[in-house]
Structure 1
Amino acid sequence: MSDFRSARSGTVAATLARARLGVPQVLFFVLAAAAPLTVVAGGASTGFAVTGTTAVPMAYLLIAVVMGIFAVGYVAMSRHVVNAGAMYSYVAHGLGRIPGIAAAFVALVAYNAMQIGLYGAFGVVAAEVCATFGTAVPWWVCALVGWAATAVLGLARVDLNGRVLAGLLLAELAVVLGYGAVMVTHPAEGAITASAFDPRQLFDPGVAAMLVGGIAGFVGIEASTVFAEETRDPRRTVARATYLAVAITGACYAGSAWAMSVAAGPDAVVDRAREHGTELMFALVGPYLGQPLVDAGRLLFLTSLFAALLAFHNTVARYLFALGRERVLPAALGRTNRRTGAPKLGSLVQSTLAVTVIVTYAFAGLDPITHLFFWMTVTGGLGVLILMTAASLAVIGYFLGHHRGEPAWRRWLAPGLAAAVLGLILTATVVSFGDLLGLPADSPLRWWFPAGYALTALSGVGWALWLRARRPEAFRAIGWGADSATAAPLAVRPAAPPRIPTRV
């Protein structure tokens, strides 16, 4: 049992519902956040069109390998630190409390951006579905309907959310796999070719941009540790769910992108992608499945977006809960619904912020796809990439000087390799961020979004320094999670507490 599951857990202000999730439920949350059908239909086709290379399947495979290496240290640390704050708590334990709060602030901005940005795509896709039935509905009305459903489910039992996501996700995966099978069995050139997996293509200039954008498809990986406190066996559940999620998403992304290249033809897939955009997959299977099944796929594209909305909403709510429980943020955030065990106020705060942004965009007449969905989700992906890089370094710091029964591969070899590769991708992302957003070379917005995370992290550092000076009991509790004892003055720590460095 983890160090965090100590006898002092009974002194906390509130706890999340325990033992309600197993490996399948946690896996559903992770995969729902990854939104396989959204990435396959939107990300893969866009990758072909924007990069101009057929190496998209190989790029996704490479990203999956990087995520697998990242997961080695991440999962190892999850065996010793169980906290709904996940990467925030890992950074606090591995690099120090002050960097931990900076990471928490970055996480809140990043995951809120990911969640709220999805409402733009959900609203537009839902409006298009309504239009097929002869009903014209503004995008923001559809977005508000999705928001209301998310807000209600966010206050429900976490296992109910898991069952909802399970149904949506299984249907979504059925479409991805079914469409993939249709495309592979109808090759454009009469024969199946694996040229898209030629490793020499990784040296194509467009692959770098594909790596930068493609990693956003794996941002839901943190959900496995965010829900650790609500699992039956955190030590095993988190590891199994994380590795399964990386394997399944990697196989779906790379396999589906390859299937597109087979159905369109390796020499024509880029042109077809530029012609059809996110409709490429539907255009390729349409002649063989018929309109009803194609329309069903488009409808599940919508439910894929809703599943991601619900998964990210739950992630943000639990981050707020973790920070409220430790009195980093108002203590009221650290209390749960007595009936459902859900983080009530954290869920309400996230819902309030989301509806405010939706209404603001609607009144301002901003483009829901470009300015809400694309800009905000890409910005959110940048924040999660920052967190992953910091978490890899934190794993090394946590195990420094104390093996805790973990081999060198888990303690520093895999985390060090992950930190190096993720750092390179992060650098490339910041440098080319304006190009990713389609901004002019002289636009100041090219640097405003990355600079926003720097200011967010500095705000976290400032807040942590204030806590250390004015509320030292709260500062000492940072990262302790269910053992923080925030409802009462700090007493004697457990005999073998998790190590939290005092260095900044």
Structure 2
Amino acid sequence: MPTTAPPHSPVIQALARSRLGVPAVTAFVLAAAAPLTVVAGSAATGFAVTGFVGVPVVYLTVGVLLAVFSAGYVAMARHVRQAGGFYTYVTLGLGRVPGVGAALVTQLGYNCLQISLYGAFGAVAADLARAGGWHLPWWLCAGAAWALVAVLGLRSVRVNGRVLGTLLVLELAVVVVFDLAMVSHPAAGGVTLTALSPAHLADPGAIAILVGGLAGFVGYEATVVFAEEVRDPRRTVALATYLALGLIATLYALSTWAMTVAAGPAHVVAAAREHDADLFFALAAPHLPAALVDLGRLLLLTSLFAALVAFHHMIARYTFSLAREGLLPAALGRTGRLTGAPVHGSLLQSGLALTVLGIFAGAGLDPIRHLFFTGGVTGGLGVLVLMAATSVAVIGYFARDGRGEPVWRRVTAPTVAAAVLVTVLVVTVAGFGALLDLPGDSPLRWLLPAGYAVAATAGAGWALILRATRPRVYAAIGLGPDSATVVAATPSGARRPDPVRA
């Protein structure tokens, strides 16, 4: 077999190898999850909107569910070293046609998530500037963040790992200090574990929090996107995935429980409705130096920035993976000579983000409600679709060859995960309008979820066109850096065994 791609191969160039270890990969995915943003924003909103006290136990439940999902996901990662993530897994497990459909769903979902964060960043930065006497429009603050993200997107993944790692350490340290301050100063009645009781899971409000809770974990699953750039692909991705998941679940549960301790379980909902997204800071502020509280609010801004950088890199690598296999223009599958970064994929994502920001700013739309909230929830729906499809794909992948994996990883865990995720998906789509607090007659309640159906259909159609018109490109779908060797024809013209379902 040849070891390099022939001239006609859709593989253009590989990502930089052996640059990332467990800490760097973990930093990328934790930054994408934006722990402080979830704790200070989404969790407080969950208390206020649903009136549900059991938010902490729901976060723990989501962590257990995702651990079950990860069992099969990580098992497959041990045998697949590619940057295509969900797209690659669906292709290898279910076939090329659904795989290309998943590719477009991935692009749409992650771009919604990344671009929506500019709305939150712009609004938070404008508020901080206003407190200092500067009156800046949100779109100007968002534009400054966009420029810096665009520059970092062209740099080495190792440089970005250091930036994210530094911001993440500060962010996590502040969250832990605030949690300790709240727990050490409980409301009347002392420290109570009421909010951690499993009995809360029977409450109707648990379903809404479950959906929002899943969105708070989005990003941890992207460890596989860096599979081509890690030093030890069989070990690094698995460790980083479980480490990130464990840290996120523990942090979310601990922080939301600490809020119920500081306010009192009977009063935390009222406090959340009074303080809204400032609840986390308001409960800790009486027990900490004012400078530290101000630092926490500033780190909320850096948390959003870190998530912007992390998602930008993920999207650029997805684009690179699709382009080198011929699904997108070949130029998008090239990397920088010195940095090994997918520069053209990065530039494309930056251009798309700037266009959307321009549209929202020009239309005078609210950066939080219309961009951050609507875009974030819609993006989270896309990731939920992909996770459900990937669970089924894991079963299909190992059905042909168990590859030495135990039954729990290749059958039981992915089956359980698929059943639960599909159920959550159905409930989410059915109540999507309520999740976005849309009027009953708003077409967005079905137009936004339908966007993923359109993307999946368009991708499947494109795959069928490639099968009929460009069979060699079609044969390389989902094979990443191995496509040149797997689909290379023998002297007689026959193809070698195909590891992908037709």
Deviation at 1:489, TM superposition (A): 8.5
In structure 2, what is the Cα distance between the partners aligned to 1:237 and 1:496?
A: 30
Task: Tell me how far 1:405 sits from its aligned partner.
Answer: 0.6
- Tell me, yes or no, if the aligned pair for 1:70 and 1:415 is still in contact at 8 Å: yes
User: How far 1:13 moved relative to its partner?
Assistant: 1.5
Other-structure match for 1:206:
205
Match of 1:499 in 2: 499
Asked if 1:333 corresponds to 2:328, the answer is no
Question: What's the secondary structure of 1:8's corresponding residue?
Answer: coil
SS in 1 for 2:3: helix
Q: 1:392, CA displacement in angstroms?
A: 0.4
Q: Distance in 2 between matches of 1:189 and 1:131?
A: 36
Alignment deviations for residues 345-393 of structure 1 (CA, whole Å, 9 cap, x no partner): 0000000000011111111101111111110011000000000000000
Query: Contact conserved, 1:216 with 1:381, CA < 8 A, in 2?
Result: yes
Which aligned pairs between 1:30-41 and structure 2 lie closer than 5 A? 30-41=29-40
Structure 1 partner of 2:153: 154
Which residue matches 2:24?
25
In 1: Cα distance, 2:454 partner to 2:153 partner: 30
Alignment RMSD (CA, Å): 1.7
Contact 2:83 2:228 in 1 (8 A): yes
* Cα shift readout 1:400-421 (whole Å, capped 9, x = no counterpart): 1321110100001000000011
Equivalent in the alignment of 2:448? 449
**Partners of 2:175 and 2:365 in 1: CA distance:** 32
Deviation at 1:323, TM superposition (A): 0.3
Mapped partners of 2:42, 2:112: distance in 1: 18
Pairing of 1:218-257 with structure 2 (within 5 A)? 218-257=217-256
* 1:106-137, Cα deviation, whole Å (9 max, x unpaired): 00000000000000000011111111221111
Residue identity in the other structure for 1:59: V
Moved over 2 A (4+): 6-12, 488-499
Deviations 1:23-70 (A, max 9, x none): 000000110000000000011111111111111001000000001011
**Structure 1: which amino acid aligns with 2:346?**
S
Residues 488, 496 of structure 2: 8 Å contact kept: no
Partners of 1:43 and 1:8 in 2: CA distance: 48
* Percent of residue pairs identical: 60
Matches for 1:393-404 after TM superposition, within 5 Å: 393-404=392-403
Structure 2 residue ranges without an equivalent (≥5):
none
The one-letter code of the counterpart of 2:208 is A
Corresponding position of 2:359: 360
Equivalent residue number for residue 382 of structure 1: 381
1:426 aligns with: 425
Please give the TM-score of this superposition, normalised by the length of structure 2: 0.96
Deviation at 1:196, TM superposition (A): 0.6
User: Residues 495 and 460 from structure 1, CA distance in 2 versus in 1: closer, same or farther, beyond 3 angstroms?
Assistant: closer
d(CA) in 1 for partners of 2:116, 2:230: 29
Q: Does 1:141 align with 2:132?
A: no
Paired residue for 1:3?
A: none
Aligned equivalent of 1:181: 180
After TM superposition, the structure 1 = structure 2 runs for residues 296-335 of structure 1, keeping only pairs within 5 Å, are: 296-335=295-334
Flag structure 1 segments of 5+ consecutive residues without an equivalent. Answer: 1-5
| TM-score scaled by length of structure 1 | 0.96
Moved more, 441-450 or 139-148: 441-450
Change (3 A) 1:191 1:489: closer
Tell me the CA shift for residue 485 of structure 1. Answer: 2.7
Q: Within 5 A, what are the aligned runs for 1:284-303?
A: 284-303=283-302
Q: Displacement of 1:9 after TM fit?
A: 5.1
Whole-Å separation in 1 of the counterparts to 2:386 and 2:220: 12
The alpha-carbon distance between structure 1 residues 344 and 494, as it changes in their structure 2 partners (threshold 3 A), is: farther
CA distance in 1, matches of 2:343, 2:94: 30
Whole-Å separation in 2 of the counterparts to 1:71 and 1:490: 33
Note the 1:431-442 alignment, pairs <5 A: 431-442=430-441
